Amino acid sequence: MDLLLGVLLFSFIVHALSIVPFINSLYQFKFFKNKTAVNKSKTDEASEHIRSKSKTPEGGGLLIITITSLIFVFLMPLLKFLGFEIIHVYPINDEINIIFFTFLSFGLLGLYDDVVKFFELDRQGGYAGLRTKTKLLIQSILGLVVGSMMYFNLGIDIVHVPFFGVIHFGAWFIPLAALLIVGFCNSLNITDGMDGLASGLLMISLFGFLILSTSVLDTPLSLFIALWLGGILAFLYFNVYPARLFLGDVGALSFGASLAVVGLLTGKVVALMVIGLPFIVDGLSSFLQIFWVRVFKKRILPIAPIHYWLLKIGWSEPKIVQRAWLVNIFLVIFGIWLAII
């Protein structure tokens, strides 16, 4: 644990030194959705809130992905050279490939979507960006690839269920993994709608999985989480209200998918569902709203996702975010308990 804490602190320092010039560059190049943040004819609370953030640059996730990946590439050989014992549950190269394939591939998809929005390359109904069906298709393909790599390369097909033990899913593990990866990918992206909300919840969740990864003695996974967590901590300083920087799709898609993979690699899917419950609730509220409108031609909620409903009923943005953090702290404690019983 002392090594992991040192790695976390080192990652935080490197990210902290890099983030200010990065933010200044984004402001200089005006990397934000200055024209099509939302349709100007919409006057609901969500639209007004999004418009108020339209001059804040996006792309913080790109910095975290880049620095975390580079440090990991140099750190693993260095630790081996210095004689540190590298304990791993799975074939180490295959495990690292899966972690970073997810981290980078979903990040590249999000980066492409951010660039399309920035240059307004694909206008649809007054909004620029990848079409939802296209994005979901690519996410599903990537999720199935990751699930297949876990099943065939690592031999993972189990889920630990508290009080019942281990359940073997066989090849059905592949679609299960894909569903979790795509679900968390989009849920975190939806949750990233208020200053500090998604990044703060992710920070708290990663602390929980850092503890779980050390309990299963998986050094590569623990190092990855510690490096990633250091970047999130540095980013959160500039993402809390009033935010100077957003994750962008490059960060939201990558981090949601990677959080799911972390849960799958530890075999603690139930803990993942508990720890990630705020993301699930926010994502499901948006999905159910869309489904209800299309099928029944009416809304199930006055406004979705749920953090905008709380804004609509009079909660301030900082109150929503801080109470979500408190709820997630409890859920992380509960999730860890479920994972170790």
Cα separation, 290 vs 284, in Å, equals 10
Distance of CA 28 to the CA centre of its chain: 27
- Whether 284 maps to a domain, the answer reads no
- Whether 6 maps to a domain, the answer reads yes
Q: Got the DSSP string for 6-45? A: HHHHHHHHHHHHHHHHHHHHHHHHT-S-TTTSS-TT--SH
* Burial state string for 87-122 with b = 16 or more CB within 10 A and e = fewer than 16: eebbeeebbbebbbebbbbbbbbbbbbbbbbbeeee
Angle at 289 between CA 284 and CA 295, to 5 degrees: 120
Cα separation, 237 vs 244, in Å, equals 9
pLDDT digits (tens, 9 = 90+) for 51-68: 777 778 889 999 999 999
pLDDT digits (tens, 9 = 90+) for 51-110: 777 778 889 999 999 999 999 999 999 998 888 888 888 999 999 999 999 999 999 999
pLDDT digits (tens, 9 = 90+) for 132-191: 899 999 999 999 999 999 999 999 999 989 888 899 999 999 999 999 999 999 999 999
248 contact partners, CB below 8 Å, separation of at least 6 = 58, 59, 60, 61, 62, 110, 111, 114
Cα separation, 196 vs 323, in Å, equals 12
**Which whole-number Å values give the CA distances from 197 to 52, 118, 175, 309, in the listed order?**
16, 23, 29, 15
pLDDT of 36 over the 70 cut: no
pLDDT digits (tens, 9 = 90+) for 251-287: 999 999 999 999 999 989 999 999 999 999 999 999 9
**What pLDDT does residue 302 have?**
87
Q: Which residues pair with 168 in a beta bridge?
A: 158
- pLDDT level of residue 44 (50, 70, 90 thresholds): low
- Whether 322 maps to a domain, the answer reads no
94 annotated to a ligand binding site: no
Name the residue among 129, 116, 3, 115 with its Cα closest to residue 62: 115
> How many Cβ atoms sit within 10 Å of the Cβ of residue 31?
18
249 annotated to a ligand binding site: yes
Angle at 47 between CA 43 and CA 48, to 5 degrees: 75
**What pLDDT does residue 124 have?**
52
Which single residue is written with the structure tokens 């609370």? 45
266 touches 209 (CB < 8 A) = yes
Q: Domain tally for the chain?
A: 1
- Whether 301 maps to a domain, the answer reads no
Cα separation, 276 vs 272, in Å, equals 6
What range defines the domain where residue 246 resides?
A: 2-268
31 contact partners, CB below 8 Å, separation of at least 6 = 57, 58, 59, 118
Taking residues 106-131, what's their average pLDDT?
76
Q: Which helix (H) or strand (E) holds 48?
A: helix 45-52
- Whether 330 maps to a domain, the answer reads no
- Whether 273 maps to a domain, the answer reads no
| Two structure tokens written together for 97 | 């490939």
- Whether 305 maps to a domain, the answer reads no
Which single residue is written with the structure tokens 């297949």? 148
- Whether 159 maps to a domain, the answer reads yes
